[in-house]
Amino acid sequence: MQQPIEVDLAVIGGGINGTGIAMEAARRGLKVLLCEQGDLAEGTSSRSSKLIHGGLRYLEHGHFRLVREALSERERLLQMAPHLIWPLLFRLPLADSQRPAWMLRLGLFLYDHLGRRNRLPASRRTRFGDSALHPRYDDGFEYADAWVDDARLVVSCARQAARDGARVLTRHRCSDARRDGSHWRLQLTASGTPNTTLAVRAQALVNAAGPWVESCFKDTIKRPSPHPVRLVKGSHLVVPALSSSPHAYLLQHPQDQRVVFVLPYETDYSLIGTTEIIHQGDPATANVSDDEVDYLLQLVNRHFVRQLGPDDIRHHFAGVRPLLDDRADSLTAISRDYLLELDAPATEAPLLSVFGGKLTSFRALAERALQRLAPHLTTPLREPPERLVLPGGDFDNQRQLYRHYRHRYPWLPMRLLRRWVRSYGTEINLLLGDARHLEDLGALIGADLYLRELAWMRQQEWAHTAEDILWRRSKLGLRFSAAETSRLIALLEQPVDL
C-alpha cells in the first residue's frame, strides 16, 4: 500500500489563483502541494488580454469595490514583478463613442483617484497625432494601465512557492478527493499514464480549477457546486504590428457598446481582443470562430489605416472566463469579481473554492483565501515577511536593468537580452551561470532560443513540451519555423543537459 504524501494544504489547479494561493500558503509556513492536470497556466491564465488593470469599463456597471482593489493591486504588482509587469499607455479615441466625453472624463477621473497610483501618470484629453489611426479618431484620452506576461507570472508564483517548500506537480490531475474526517484524501493521476497515481492526505483543500471549478465539484469532489458559473469565451488575434508606437488602444464598438483592445505584442505584433460568447462544454474545447475574427477585424479596420484580412492573422487563442452567475442582463455586465466559498463543518477538513476572479486580483485573493482558511488549520500561519518580490523581480526599472546587463554581457545579442530582461529579470545571472561567450549558451535551436535557456525552462520552470516552451514560457512560437519546432521536439526527447 502506497504511503500518502502528507501536507497541510492541497491545491487543485495551476492557474494564477491556484499558484497564488500555493505561494501565499508556503510563504506563511504551510506544507503545500499543488497539482495541475496539464501545464502551468495552460487554462485561462495564459489566454487573457494580459492586462493588470482596474478595468475602466467595470465602473459603468458600478463595480467600484472590484476596481478599487484592482487599482491598488496594480501598484503592488508593478513592484512585485517589474520584469513581468510594466506600465502601458492607452489611447482611447472619442469618435464613435456612445459614451459622451464628459462621462469618459468622469470615469477616468475616478480611475485616477480610486486606488493608489505612484508609478503611473494621470489620464489626459489630447490629440494623438497618430498616423496609424484614421484622422477622425485623432481626438481622445490617454490613460495608463499595466501589461503582464500572464503565463510567466503563473510560473514565477509556482517557483516562489517551490522555493518556500511547496511541491508542484504538473501533468497530474486530481481525479478523486474525499473527506475523511479531519483530512482530505486525494488521488492524483499522472497524465498519459493512467496507472500512475499518487495518494495525498491534506488538512485542507482548495478548488482553484478556474473554469473547471464546477466540473471539479461534480467529477472529483463528487458533490454539487454551491454556485453556478457562466462560462464566457474571449478570443484574441495576433497580427503584424498595426502601429510603431508603444501605445495600446481601447476601441469602442459603435453599435454594441463593447470595447476591444489593440495591444503592442512581442515587439513586432499587435494583440487584438477580446470577444464575449457563452461557452458550453469543456473549457479546453474553446476555439476562435470565424464570426469572432470578422467582429474583431471589422472594428480594427474601422479605426486603423492599415487594413487587415484573415490572412494577416499569425496566431489566435481563446480563453474561458468562469463568471459568477449574478443574473446580469448582458455578458459584459456580469461582475468580474470573485467569491471564496468556504465549506468547513465542525471537526471536518475545510474546502475553499474559488469562483471567478482576475489575474489582477490574484494576490489579494490569495491573501484572503489564507485568512479564511487559517481558523480551520491546526498548523498556525507564520507572519508573512514584509514585501514579496517574485523571483527575478528585485530591481526598479527595466531600462536600467537592460543597460546593466548590456555592459556586463556585451556579447549577448540585444534582442535576446531585451527578451530575457522581461522574462527573467535579475535571474539572468543564474540563467547564464558561468557562460562568458555566446558559444557557451550551446546550440541555437531556433529564433533566439539556445540550449542553455531550454535547459533552464525544463529544470526550473516545469516545461516539458514544445508548446510549453513556445507558447507559455515564451512566445517564440511566433518566430519558430516548422523545421525548428521539429528540432525542439527531438531535443525534448533527450534528458536535460546544462
Ligand X SMILES: Cc1cc2nc3c(=O)[nH]c(=O)nc-3n(C[C@H](O)[C@H](O)[C@H](O)COP(=O)(O)OP(=O)(O)OC[C@H]3O[C@@H](n4cnc5c(N)ncnc54)[C@H](O)[C@@H]3O)c2cc1C
- Residues found near ligand X in the complex (CB under 6 A): 12-18, 35-38, 42-45, 47-51, 173-174, 208-212, 216, 220, 234, 274, 319-321, 354, 357-360
Q: For the chain, give me the number of helices (H) and strands (E)?
A: 13, 20
Provide the minimum distance between the beta carbon of 55 and ligand X in the complex, in angstroms, as a whole number: 8
Provide the minimum distance between the beta carbon of 496 and ligand X in the complex, in angstroms, as a whole number: 23
Closer by beta carbon to ligand X, 231 or else 454: 231
Provide the minimum distance between the beta carbon of 320 and ligand X in the complex, in angstroms, as a whole number: 6
Provide the minimum distance between the beta carbon of 13 and ligand X in the complex, in angstroms, as a whole number: 3
Query: H or E stretch including 356?
Result: strand 351-356
Provide the minimum distance between the beta carbon of 38 and ligand X in the complex, in angstroms, as a whole number: 5
Q: How far apart are CA 127 and CA 142, in angstroms?
A: 9
Provide the minimum distance between the beta carbon of 445 and ligand X in the complex, in angstroms, as a whole number: 26
Query: H or E stretch including 342?
Result: strand 338-343
Q: Are 214 and 99 in contact (CB under 8 A)?
A: no
Provide the minimum distance between the beta carbon of 203 and ligand X in the complex, in angstroms, as a whole number: 19
Pick left, alpha or beta for residue 29 (phi over 0 → left; psi -120 to 50 → alpha; otherwise beta).
left
Closer by beta carbon to ligand X, 50 or else 473: 50
Provide the minimum distance between the beta carbon of 39 and ligand X in the complex, in angstroms, as a whole number: 8
Tell the residue number behind the cell numbers 476596481, with chain if given.
Answer: 67
Provide the minimum distance between the beta carbon of 310 and ligand X in the complex, in angstroms, as a whole number: 20
Selection from 373, 392, 400, 407 nearest residue 30 by Cα = 373
Q: Count Cβ atoms within 10 A of the Cβ of residue 400 and give its class: 0-12 exposed, 13-18 middle, 19 or more buried.
A: exposed
Query: CA–CA distance from 340 to each of 160, 231, 305, 350, 352 (Å)?
Result: 23, 18, 46, 12, 7
Selection from 26, 19, 48, 16 nearest residue 320 by Cα = 48
Q: How far apart are CA 442 and CA 457, in angstroms?
A: 14
Q: How far apart are CA 394 and CA 83, in angstroms?
A: 9
Closer by beta carbon to ligand X, 14 or else 140: 14
User: Mind giving me the DSSP string for 179-225?
Assistant: EETTEEEEEEEETT-TT-EEEEEEEEEEE--GGGHHHIIIIII-S--
Q: Count Cβ atoms within 10 A of the Cβ of residue 461 and give its class: 0-12 exposed, 13-18 middle, 19 or more buried.
A: buried
Closer by beta carbon to ligand X, 54 or else 107: 54
Provide the minimum distance between the beta carbon of 45 and ligand X in the complex, in angstroms, as a whole number: 3
Q: How far apart are CA 259 and CA 324, in angstroms?
A: 21
Closer by beta carbon to ligand X, 145 or else 484: 145
